[in-house]
Amino acid sequence: MSLRLRLTIAYALLQVMVVGVLGFVLHAAMLQQLETELQNRMELRAQQVELAVRPGTTALAREDLVSAELNLPPLPGRIGPAPYVQVLGKDNRVVATSDNLQGRPLPVDATSVASALAGRRSFSTATEDADQPAIRVLSVPITSDRMVIGVLQVGRSLRVLEETMVQLRALLGLLGVGALAAAGLTGWLVAHQGLRPLFSIARQAAAISAQADFGGRIRYAGPSDEVGVLAGTVNQLLARVSETLQTHRDFVADTSHELRNPLLALQTNLELIDRVPDRDARLECVREARQQVERMSRLVADLLMLARIETGQVVERRQLALDRVVQQVAHEVRPRAEGRHLALEHVEPIDVLGDEGRLAQILTNLLDNALRHTPRDGTISIRLERQDGWAHLSVTDTGEGIRPADLPHIFERFYRGGRSAADRDDGTGLGLAIVKYLTEAHDGRVTAESELGRGSSFAVWLPARR
């Protein structure tokens, strides 16, 4: 069942429910009104008859009941035939009747008569024939000298009331059918008009998916309502998909390029081992092949690290002393300085919330990067200090520096720009990218400043713990 049909049915059912409730209330109110008017007129007729039966304050006898005038003028504005009147004695025998009864007594309800003989007025509904409409009867006690000497009964046929209610129900039924038809048509038109933009969005999205053209966008010129928000969200999703696919393509291309060179070098050296007769030359081929294997191993390890970072599976948070991590990493890297001066200029005791191994990797990658770009007589300095609630870790070198055109891209994967040949041959192009991802995973940020020919400075900002 389509959404349009479900909305139409729901709208029609809602309208039918509203009309049904209103019709029920109207029917009940009309029935109550008619019954109240009927009973009021019967009460009025009973009062008129009582005055006719018992004029003044004269005491009544049985013959007064027999000779009473029960045929009174009709009430003004009456509905239906004139009321029926009869008088019963204490023995429940009919003493007198109005002419419109034509000698046939009203149906007697024993309970109502007993209540009237006990001095209480009561209404009852009785029928003489199942094919005839019911009669509403008012039973009123007739008293003389404070004693009940009879019962006055005033009856009205319910034919007019029943016919009126039948007509009202028929009218309400017609109105209900009309309301259902109108609600169904209106609901269908409203649903069709309201869902048309959604169908357009669905068709455009299906076409984009079928053509795999994720650079396309949903064209929507309507108001900024819920449908407009949906169109904008779909366009944002398409933009994200397009960006992700482009990143994936670039990543695959860069990875293939990075792996091709060491694989080619490895293959060349393995072939030379069989061809070169000199033992020293073969050992050199083995050494170069081993270096290429180590380079590919670092590349694969870095790629795996990036994949784990992007899926959020790499950082475990706990409070630790960042100054201790800095001193430990500096101690481990110092043997690889090879003539470069590695200095801990200023290290403050600062606690952070993070993963000790990953924080150590951040500093290790920055130091490795500095070692590759700093000459043997250069200096690499490390500083750790607290600044405005942040732990500020900086690594500064006196190396070759970075070109201004390359500086905005140095944290991108596999980006080398105009780097030195040593960096292109030695590095994987992922070290600074890993620094950026790991820093952001710790809710921090990393920045870089450089002056070509005078060195570079990398700063890592991490939230400090009090």
Give the fold, CATH level 3, of 3-164. Answer: Beta-Lactamase (3.30.450)
pLDDT in tens, 226-256: 778 888 888 888 888 887 777 777 767 766 7
> 199 is written with which tokens?
């169908």
pLDDT at 422 (0 to 100): 46
What would the CATH number be for the domain defined by 226-307? 1.10.287.130
Say which CATH topology domain 316-465 has: Heat Shock Protein 90 (3.30.565)
Residue range 185-195: mean pLDDT, rounded:
76
Matching CATH topology for 226-307 and 316-465? no
Using the predicted structure, report yes or no on whether residue 198 has a pLDDT greater than 50: yes
Give the domain ranges of the chain. Answer: 3-164, 226-307, 316-465
* pLDDT for the residue 359: 92
Separation between Cα atoms, residue 105 and residue 94, nearest integer Å: 7
Q: Tell me, what's the pLDDT at 127?
A: 73
What pLDDT is stored for residue 314 in this prediction? 64
Q: At what angle do helices 322-333 and 356-373 cross, to 10 degrees?
A: 40
At 48, list the tokens.
């008129």
Specify the DSSP element, H or E, that contains 297.
helix 279-310
Non-local (6+) Cβ contacts of 432 within 8 A are 365, 369, 410, 411
> Are the beta carbons of 351 and 385 closer than 8 angstroms?
no
pLDDT at residue 248, rounded to an integer = 73
pLDDT-derived band at 216 (thresholds 50, 70, 90) equals confident
User: What is the Cα–Cα distance from 170 to 166, expressed in whole angstroms?
Assistant: 6
Q: Compute the distance between CA of residue 347 and CA of residue 331 in angstroms, rounded to an integer.
A: 14
User: Where do the H-state alpha helices sit in 311-355?
Assistant: 322-333
Which 3 state secondary structure label does DSSP give 5?
A: helix
CA 254 from chain center: how many Å? 42
- Lowest pLDDT segment from 271-285, 303-317, 367-381: 303-317
DSSP per residue over 346-400, as a string?
EE---EEEE-HHHHHHHHHHHHHHHHHHS-TT-EEEEEEEEETTEEEEEEEE-SS
pLDDT per position as a tens digit, 168-179: 889 888 888 888
**3-class DSSP state of 219:** coil
382: confidence class by pLDDT, cuts 50, 70, 90: very high
Q: Report the chain's mean pLDDT, rounded to a whole number.
A: 80
pLDDT recorded at residue 101: 74
State the maximum Cα–Cα separation within the chain, in Å, rounded to a whole number: 158
- The share of the chain scoring above pLDDT 70, in percent, equals 85
